[in-house]
């Protein structure tokens, strides 16, 4: 392999570290090509985004270097909206690298080498990292806090169950468990009021089993009644939160442009325009000296937010200057930080600024329960699981974890999950858990067992019989049919209009809407079973929508039909003729008597636009009706 790389597939790598791929070959007249496939994951949703990039690397004196990390950093996900209560942020970006060495003249490949997937995290490598777990801070420094505040941390965690121990002045006061089902960057907050902290207390958060991973907070006095939070995007593209306990205000600066006019010896100014800039200036309150680095990180950030509620924030842009003062008696510092306000709409923003700023209230342990877990549509290799949820905080559920025979197999944000790749004639046990975006996970649902079929189903259902249209209006036609039969169950019916599929339904009736009045349509229906086999189509029927704003007529008529014919079949074959065209008869009831005479009564509005007292002929088709009758339009006129 004529190149060296700092990367491997076991560890995490950080995009702001100065790691380079070095190309070095003993061969003459060659160059390198590199194919880089980057799969990154969106914040919160973990939706994957994949892109493939190609690079040609020319050599100078048979050597070259390439900074891949900078390219990956630009492809990393960024925070779009601030989500204060989200636990899971995003997954590590996965990179697959293929390196080709080629002959310059012939373009033939001399060697091919593949590396990956390599996992990348945005930012600098933390000062302490153990077994691919770390608090995501450049330096492990002490942080300040206050007795009634919350403390906040970002952590890189591997796929495992992790326990964080909380200590107050060296004594364990709490234990937090986070189950990570894939490599994740997580954010977590802890309410200090739960531990009755007071000035001078030291709060430590330690990741169990990782001796160097400690997050330490020192409780400082609060000299003012203010407690506001600024969130910003830090070096890891993650939100970091700083509590400001000093005073704040929103100064407005106006910039005015003038045009100077001179006429003779007289001069005067004409105002052209005025623009205003809305600023936000806030004092941090006392901080410890270690946090100077944190303030510098805030001022260097590209995005910041003033938090005004659990789900509300005002977007800010930092103004890169600070004012630092020191209290010589306490060795504490405070800073006055200025921001520009970036409103999208001035009027709503001004209303927000008039609101009282709020403390963040985190729900740490919402109650989550999975109920009514069932399966459906089971085949020889798959089944669909569905369930319901019972939760005090349903809007905070992020996704559901699916377990097969006790092993995790996937997750979804839907209330269903399709399990595939199962074996023939095998019994499986399934359970589901719910996870909230603050880290709480529900108990497992009650387990259900599912047995797959003994063989793959290739037999389609029977076709739907006796398709009819019992109700027709100006713009709708209701269709009905008899149920199909299938040995493994019918999953759905497919409705077609003029040869085009328009709907799927599990019922044996469907109302077609959005039709045009006085227009003819063809309809047929097919059935699909749980294995995806589809039946032959039903008989195609042609039906027309009604006309409007014209005179209706009603009819009652009789006829003689041949024995042994289904009455519904006769009804579907009746036609009437008004001298201008032939139309289907739509009606309610066929009555039959032993003398093979039927009477058909229609209370529907059948045909419009005919003058009164016009004779209508009624007859059958397909040889089913052997006699005809007549009626006249206008009112309920019996046949002659």
Q: Is residue 236 part of a domain?
A: no
- Answering whether pTM is above 0.75, one says no
Give yes or no: residues 72 and 90 share one domain.
yes
What integer pLDDT is reported at residue 183 of this predicted model? 64
400, 419, 451 - which closes a domain: 451
What SS3 state is found at 425? coil
Domain count, the chain: 6
Q: What is residue 11's DSSP assignment?
A: S
Q: Is residue 342 part of a domain?
A: yes
Give yes or no: residues 198 and 297 share one domain.
no
What integer pLDDT is reported at residue 404 of this predicted model? 94
Query: What residues pair up with 418 in beta bridges, in sequence order?
Result: 384
Give yes or no: residues 152 and 216 share one domain.
yes
Q: Is residue 261 part of a domain?
A: yes
Give yes or no: residues 45 and 141 share one domain.
no
485, 519, 544 - which closes a domain: 544
296: CATH: 2.40.30
What integer pLDDT is reported at residue 112 of this predicted model? 93
Give yes or no: residues 101 and 9 share one domain.
yes
pLDDT beneath 70: ranges in the chain: 1, 84-86, 181-183, 223-224, 309-311, 322-324, 326-331, 343-368, 391-398, 436-441, 548-640
Q: Which backbone phi and psi does 241 adopt, to 5 degrees?
A: -120, 130
Q: Is residue 126 part of a domain?
A: no
Q: How far apart are the first and last CA of the chain?
A: 101
What integer pLDDT is reported at residue 632 of this predicted model? 45
Q: State the DSSP string of 52-109.
A: EEEEEE--BTTEEEE-HHHHHHHHS----S--TT-SEEEEPEEEEEEEEEEETTT--E
208: CATH: 2.60.40
Q: Is residue 129 part of a domain?
A: no
87, 121, 155 - which closes a domain: 121
Any residues with CB less than 8 A from the CB of 328 and at least 6 apart, and which?
none
Residue 154 CA to residue 207 CA, distance in Å, equals: 12
Give yes or no: residues 588 and 504 share one domain.
no
Give yes or no: residues 506 and 446 share one domain.
no
Q: Is residue 473 part of a domain?
A: yes
Give yes or no: residues 261 and 330 share one domain.
yes
Give yes or no: residues 252 and 344 share one domain.
yes
Residue 441 CA to residue 433 CA, distance in Å, equals: 7
Q: Is residue 460 part of a domain?
A: no
The boundaries of the domain holding residue 260 are: 248-353
Contact 97, 114 (CB under 8 A): yes
Give yes or no: residues 38 and 117 share one domain.
yes
Residue 41 CA to residue 117 CA, distance in Å, equals: 14
Contact 564, 626 (CB under 8 A): no
431: CATH: 2.60.40.10
Give yes or no: residues 327 and 381 share one domain.
no
Give yes or no: residues 511 and 577 share one domain.
no
What integer pLDDT is reported at residue 576 of this predicted model? 45
What integer pLDDT is reported at residue 110 of this predicted model? 92
- Whole-angstrom CA distances from 375 to 220, 432, 448 are 55, 12, 8
Q: Is residue 167 part of a domain?
A: yes
């Amino acid at each position: 392999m004529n190149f060296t790389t700092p990367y491997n597939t076991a560890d995490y790598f950080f995009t702001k570290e100065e790691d380079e791929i070095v190309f070095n070959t003993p061969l003459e007249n060659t160059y390198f090509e590199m194919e880089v496939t980057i799969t990154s994951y969106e914040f919160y949703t973990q939706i994957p985004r994949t892109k493939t990039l190609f690079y040609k690397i020319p050599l100078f004196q048979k050597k070259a270097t390439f900074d891949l990390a900078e390219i990956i950093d630009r492809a990393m996900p960024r925070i779009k909206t601030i989500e204060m209560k989200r636990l899971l942020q995003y997954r590590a970006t996965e990179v697959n690298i293929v390196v080709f060495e080629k002959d310059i003249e012939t373009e033939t490949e001399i060697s091919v080498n593949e590396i990956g997937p390599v996992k990348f995290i945005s930012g600098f490598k933390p000062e302490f990292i153990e077994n691919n777990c770390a608090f995501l801070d450049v330096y492990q420094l002490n942080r300040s806090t206050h007795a009634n505040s919350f403390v906040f941390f970002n952590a890189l965690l591997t796929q495992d169950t992790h326990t964080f121990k909380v200590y107050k002045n060296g004594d364990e006061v709490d234990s937090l468990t986070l189950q990570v089902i894939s490599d994740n960057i997580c954010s977590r907050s802890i309410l200090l009021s739960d531990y009755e902290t007071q000035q001078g207390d030291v709060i430590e958060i330690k990741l169990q089993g990782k001796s160097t991973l400690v997050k330490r907070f020192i409780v400082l006095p609060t000299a003012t009644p203010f407690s506001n939070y600024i969130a910003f995007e830090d070096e890891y593209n993650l939100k970091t939160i700083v509590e400001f306990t000093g005073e704040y205000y929103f100064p407005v600066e106006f910039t005015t442009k003038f045009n100077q006019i001179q006429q003779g010896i007289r001069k005067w100014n004409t105002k052209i325009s005025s623009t205003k800039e809305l600023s936000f200036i806030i004092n941090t309150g006392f901080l410890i000296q270690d946090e100077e680095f944190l303030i510098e990180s805030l001022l260097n950030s590209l995005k910041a937010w003033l938090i005004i509620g659990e789900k509300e924030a005002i977007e800010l842009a930092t103004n890169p200057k600070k004012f630092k003062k020191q209290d010589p008696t306490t060795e504490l510092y405070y800073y006055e930080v200025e921001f520009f306000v970036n409103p999208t709409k001035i009027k709503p923003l001004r209303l927000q600024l008039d609101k009282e700023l709020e403390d963040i209230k985190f729900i740490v342990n919402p109650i989550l329960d999975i109920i009514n877990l069932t399966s459906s549509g089971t085949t020889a290799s798959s089944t669909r699981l569905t369930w319901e949820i019972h939760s005090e905080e349903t809007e905070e559920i992020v996704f559901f974890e699916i377990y097969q025979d006790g092993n995790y197999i996937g997750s979804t944000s839907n209330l269903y999950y399709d399990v595939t790749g199962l074996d023939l004639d095998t019994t499986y046990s399934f359970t589901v858990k719910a996870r909230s975006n603050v880290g709480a996970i529900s108990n497992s649902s009650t387990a259900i067992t599912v047995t797959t079929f003994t063989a793959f189903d290739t037999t389609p259902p029977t076709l739907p019989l006796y398709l009819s249209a019992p109700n027709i209006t100006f713009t709708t036609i209701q269709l009905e049919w008899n149920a199909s039969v299938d040995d493994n169950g019918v999953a759905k019916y497919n409705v077609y209009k003029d040869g085009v599929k328009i709907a799927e339904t599990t019922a044996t009736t469907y109302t077609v809407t959005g039709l045009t009045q006085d227009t003819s349509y063809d309809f047929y229906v097919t059935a699909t079973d749980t294995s995806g086999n589809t039946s032959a189509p039903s008989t195609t029927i042609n039906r027309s929508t009604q006309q409007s704003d014209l005179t209706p007529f009603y009819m009652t008529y009789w006829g003689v039909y041949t024995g042994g014919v289904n009455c519904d079949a006769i009804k579907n074959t009746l036609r009437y003729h008004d001298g201008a065209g032939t139309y289907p008869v739509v009606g309610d009831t066929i009555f039959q008597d032993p003398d093979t005479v039927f009477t058909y009564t229609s209370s529907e509005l059948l045909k419009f636009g005919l003058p009164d007292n016009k004779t209508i002929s009624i007859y059958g088709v397909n040889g089913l009706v052997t006699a005809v009758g007549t009626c006249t339009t206008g009112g309920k006129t019996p046949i002659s």
